[in-house]
Structure 1
């Protein structure tokens, strides 16, 4: 089994989900007491949030790139950023390492296309929904992304940062998200991307009015596929 390198802490709530999923997947595939070989570097999210709010994406890229390099030096055979938003600097981070970088957008696009979806609704932070890096990359991969209207984008962003990242899961917020989904379904969305690694804490992708795609689980599955495939080849 190859060692998986995780850049986590953004937020630690979703990093904990990654850790659980990775180990559960290995146990399911290998049985008995098998668990994942991984290295987790958890950053101080507050420092990253300050950079996000200031638009200091170069600083964020340098910080995460340094973490990626440390993980590779420590023995990671692949690198993951455990955050959709911070894939805004994915190219810069990937350039800092020689091992494979597993891109959450690419893995999610592959899952959507395999399911025959063409017009997914993206629910994510404001940075992910508005900066273009996500929708542009998805478009290049053959998918036409829908995003909520401005007021709904603010609602989704605030639920993520003010509640989910702080470990709060409120039924009233789940209801708000479901109303947003219904509006976008009426506007033509054919599926839903849980495009923030915390959204799986409040929305069950298998209990939505449209097919749901949990980016956290998709990303974790790609990491385990890599780690175990490389082992099989060796």
Structure 2
């Protein structure tokens, strides 16, 4: 089994879901007392969020790159960023290490294609929905990506930051998000990407009629496939 490197803390609720699902997945696949080989480092969410809000991306990249180097030195064979929004600096992080980075957008795009989807909706933080770094990467796989109308961005952001990152799950907020998903469906989305780990705590497949693609669930599955495969890992050229 290969060792999975994780950069977490964005938020710690998100990191806990990654850690739990990775270990549940290994136990399910291998049985017995098997658990995942992981190296996890956790950054200060308040610090990197403040830098994000000030558009100080070089500093964010440096923090995450340093964290990634520590994970690599600790023995990780490949790396996951346990976040969507901070994939904004994924390329800088990847250039700082000599192990592969399993990019979330590529994993999600592969899953969309497996579902034979040509058009998908994306929910996430306001930052993820309003910037193109994530949607553009998905689009390189031949997919059309819809995001909610601007007036819904603050609603989703509030639910994520004021509720879900603190472990609060509200039926009222679930209904609000489901209504936004239905609007994306009306706009032509054949499925919806939950582009924030915390949203997977709120919305389940049973809540909506179109396919729900949870980024964390897909990222974990791809990581387990890689960790338990005998195939050698390929590192992208820096």
TM-score in terms of structure 1 length? 0.96
Moved over 6 A (4+): none
Equivalent residue for 1:191? 191
Does the residue aligned with 2:204 lie in a helix, a strand or coil? Answer: coil
Inter-partner Cα distance in structure 1 for 2:24 and 2:121: 28
Structural mapping, 1:65-76, within 5 Å: 65-76=65-76
1:149 aligned residue? 149
1:44 shift after superposition: 1.1
Rounded Cα–Cα distance in structure 1 between residues aligned with 2:140 and 2:22: 29
Deviations 1:157-181 (A, max 9, x none): 1111111112111111101001111
State the partner residue of 1:24: 24
Cα contact 1:206–1:212 (8 A) shared by 2: no
Cα–Cα, structure 1 residues 53 and 28, in superposed 2: closer, same or farther, change >3 Å? same
1:91-106 pair list within 5 angstroms: 91-106=91-106
For residue 209 of structure 1, give the secondary structure of its aligned residue in structure 2: coil
TM superposition shift of 1:49? 1.0
Q: Deviation string for 1:81-109 (max 9, x for gaps)?
A: 00011101100011111111100000000
Matches within 5 A, 1:38-57: 38-57=38-57
Counterpart Cα distance in 1 of 2:80 and 2:184? 30
Q: Which moved more, 1:158-167 or 1:144-153?
A: 158-167
Using a 3 Å threshold, how does the CA distance of structure 1 residues 106 and 206 change in structure 2: closer, same or farther? farther
**Equivalent residue number for residue 162 of structure 2:** 162
What does residue 128 of structure 1 align with? 128
| Separation of aligned partners in 1, 2:183 and 2:232 | 47
Runs of 5+ unmatched residues, structure 2: 234-238
Describe the SS at the equivalent of 1:183.
Answer: helix
Shift of residue 35, structure 1, vs aligned partner? 0.3
1:73 CA drift (Å): 0.5
> Considering only aligned residues, what root-mean-square deviation do their CA atoms show, in Å?
1.3
1:14 matched residue in structure 2: 14
Kept after mapping to 2: 8 A contact 1:205/1:214 = no
